Each structure stands twice: as C-alpha cells, then as structure tokens.
Amino acid sequence: MRVSQKRALAFLQFADLTDSDQRSAVYLRPVSRLSGLKGLRARRPYNQSFSWGHRGRRDGGGDPTAEPVIDVRGLTKHYADIKAVDGISFEVEKGQMFSLLGPNGAGKTTTVEILEGLRDPTSGEARVLGVDVRKGYGKIRNRVGVLPQDFEPFDRLKPREAVAYWAHLFDRTLTKEEVAGLIRTVGLADRADTLAMNLSGGERRRLGIAMSLVGKPKLVFLDEPTTGLDPGARRELWGLIRQLKSEGTTILLTTHYLDEAEQLADDVAIMNHGKIVARGSPADLIAKHGQGHSIVLAGAGEDGLSAVRARGVVAELQGADVVVQVPLASDMRRMLEKLASIDIPLNEIYTRRASLEDVFLNLVGARMQEGVLAA
C-alpha cells in the first residue's frame, strides 16, 4: 500500500473514532510520513498553558460563520531541528478559495494536516470553523471534507458503494437518492457502478471529491487534487471545484500547478522554508511581484539583442529569444512600434503577461518543469 493510501486510510479511521485511545489502537502501521499523525501515537497531554491571548477562548461556542473559517496565527511545527512551519498567520473567509503554494518541503502539507486535525502544532493558534484544532476537532470533523494528497479509492468498491460506505463511517446514512445526487454532482453518474479500479485517474479524483462531500461540509481541503492528471481531466476537475465554490463551500487548495492557483484561487499564500513569503490575490501578486508585460522577439538571438540595445531598448537574452520587459501595459503599443521599426531577424514576435510562475521565480527562485514547481 502506498504511503498516500495509508494517509487516506489513517484519515478514514480517524474519522470514525472520537476517543483518542481507540485511535491509538487502530493505527497499527506507522510509516515515517505518518508517524507524527494524531492517532498513530499516544496523544500528548493538552498544553494547559495555551492561550488565545487578547481574543479570549472561543472553543466551539458561538456562531462559527461570524468569524473566519480558518484562522491561523503564529503557527509553528518543528520536527526535531526542522522548522517545517515557522510562524505563519493567515485567515480564510467563508466561501473563499484559498491556495497554499510553495516548492517541495515548503511546509504546505504539514500546515494542512494541522488544519485537518491530524497533527498538533508546536506552537501558535489554529482555529477551524471556530474551534481550536488541538482539542475541538471532534465537534467539527463532520463539517470538514478532505481529499488527501494522491487520494486513491478502494479498488473493489464502485462509486455508489464507496460514497455510501464513507458516509456510514461518518455516522450518516444516505438515501439512495442522496448517494446518486453526490455522484451526479461530481459527474460520475454513468460510472456509478464501475469498480474504482477501472476508473480513470480523473474519475477516481472525482470520486474522492464526492466522498469528501458526504457530510455536506462547510470547508473542503483539496490537497493537490489534480496532480498526475492529463490537461483535459485537470480542466474538468477545475469546473467541479468552481461549482463547489459557487455553492458557498470554503476551499483550501494545495497545488503545485501555478496555473491552477491562478485560475481558481481568490487568495494565495506562497510558502517557502516554512514561512509565508507573499500573500494576496493572484492578480495582486502578479502586479506586485511580476514584471508586468514583456515582448518576446523569438529567435532574434545575439544579433537581435545588439540591434535593440543600439536603439536604447533594455532587453535580455533568454535562450535564443530577446525579451523586453514592459512594466506598464500603457507603454506596450509604443514599445511594439519602436521594435517594429528596428530591422531584426526573428521568427515571431509576441507579448506575454507576467504570471504566478514569474512571481515564483522572483520570490522563491523555484525551478519549473512543465508548469509545475520542482524541488
């Protein structure tokens, strides 16, 4: 069984049990990535000295919709000498799609696992739907949906059975119509009676989303939901994710695909080495940390570079292309006209808008491979 499946199974078993001793007994196969998950070890005593500071204690009481769906303040998580999460703060408002981005090892999964109630933080505050994740999770677990990283369904269950079974684990009995409705929501109506092992990657992820929705969650964690899918399947899943959001579900999306975050997220936090290095809407981040627009003189080479520089244009060579940055969109026409007046041998000329990828290169310096952040 793959580690990711074990994590899914761990969550499944955790979901079913509320008593910490029971949880400890259920997790029999600790693996390195999972060994710190709550329930895979004896639960340490709650830190009585933990305090909510000036805001006072708000455990579970009150109207959870009156405050952020996720509220993180000064959160840290240390593994021995590794500061996986190093003092991050953010809020996610109701109905928002929030995306955590960052290169491998940035601390995204650790953050999400804390917010899913699977790990205790080392210090700081983390509240989900108004409760302290360290001790109040039992009250909200049924209102939180999770699609774990690399989710794999049970091969020998059909979607119709898997959804009903999952609901049962959450102490819910769904009617046949409710199960069919969920399966329809994720676009699997014509695959409802196909063994999961015979579903495509995209269909399996859709099934995972259907399973995460059995409790009619207010908040859904989607941890790299489209990793490994082909571009068509990714776009189909984006449609489903947008639909969830349009119905008012708050979504925390973790992804390595920058275009995915740019397309879907209202708000993005870029993590690196456990810290949030930039935060804002994709458009704001691009405006602040991207470099506006650029004009690419494809194939113009060294000769083209010399020619444009001779006319006082600031340009750089990227491979065989000459790239001219145009910070202000209003300057674009003037610069295009100027470049057109220079005799440059080139294959093609096109303009390019800065993207989240450029923001990444500026802030994190992460390499990209086919649009995906690399280690």
304 binds ligand ATP (CB under 6 A): no
Task: Looking at residues 104 to 123 of the shown chain, list those that interact with ligand ATP (rule: CB under 6 A).
Answer: 104-110
102 binds ligand ATP (CB under 6 A): yes
136 binds ligand ATP (CB under 6 A): no
Instruction: At 218, list the tokens.
Output: 């207010």
Nearest approach, Cβ of 364 to ligand ATP (angstroms)? 11
| Cα distance between residue 159 and residue 350, in whole Å | 46
- Nearest residue to ligand ATP by CB is 109
Contact with ligand ATP (CB under 6 A): which of 33, 58, 73, 143? 33
| Cα distance between residue 285 and residue 283, in whole Å | 6
Task: Looking at residues 266 to 285 of the shown chain, list those that interact with ligand ATP (rule: CB under 6 A).
Answer: none
Let me know if 56 is exposed, middle or buried by CB neighbors in 10 A (0-12, 13-18, 19+): exposed
245 binds ligand ATP (CB under 6 A): no
36 binds ligand ATP (CB under 6 A): yes
Of 217 and 274, the one with the shorter C-beta distance to ligand ATP is 274
Nearest approach, Cβ of 23 to ligand ATP (angstroms)? 17
Of 51 and 104, the one with the shorter C-beta distance to ligand ATP is 104
38 binds ligand ATP (CB under 6 A): no
253 binds ligand ATP (CB under 6 A): no
Nearest approach, Cβ of 274 to ligand ATP (angstroms)? 7
> Would you say 107 and 71 are in contact if contact means Cβ atoms under 8 Å apart?
no
Of 104 and 281, the one with the shorter C-beta distance to ligand ATP is 104
Question: Side chain identity at 18, as an amino acid letter?
Answer: T
Contact with ligand ATP (CB under 6 A): which of 26, 31, 82, 195? 82
Q: Would you give the DSSP letter of residue 34?
A: G
Pairing outcome for strands 250-254 and 97-101: parallel
Nearest approach, Cβ of 49 to ligand ATP (angstroms)? 25
Nearest approach, Cβ of 167 to ligand ATP (angstroms)? 29
Phi and psi at residue 223, in whole multiples of 5°?
Answer: -100, 105
Contact with ligand ATP (CB under 6 A): which of 79, 230, 331, 367? 79
74 binds ligand ATP (CB under 6 A): no
| Cα distance between residue 138 and residue 31, in whole Å | 24
- Residues with Cβ within 8 Å of 55's Cβ and at least 6 positions away in sequence, in order, are none
- Candidates 278, 283, 290; CA nearest to 263 is 283
What is the torsion angle, in degrees rounded to the nearest 10, for the CA atoms of residue 229, residue 233, residue 235 and residue 236?
-140
Of 102 and 215, the one with the shorter C-beta distance to ligand ATP is 102
**How many CA atoms lie less than 13 Å away from 181 in the CB half-sphere?**
8
- Residues with Cβ within 8 Å of 341's Cβ and at least 6 positions away in sequence, in order, are none
Binding site for ligand ATP (CB under 6 A): 33, 35-36, 79, 82, 84, 102, 104-110
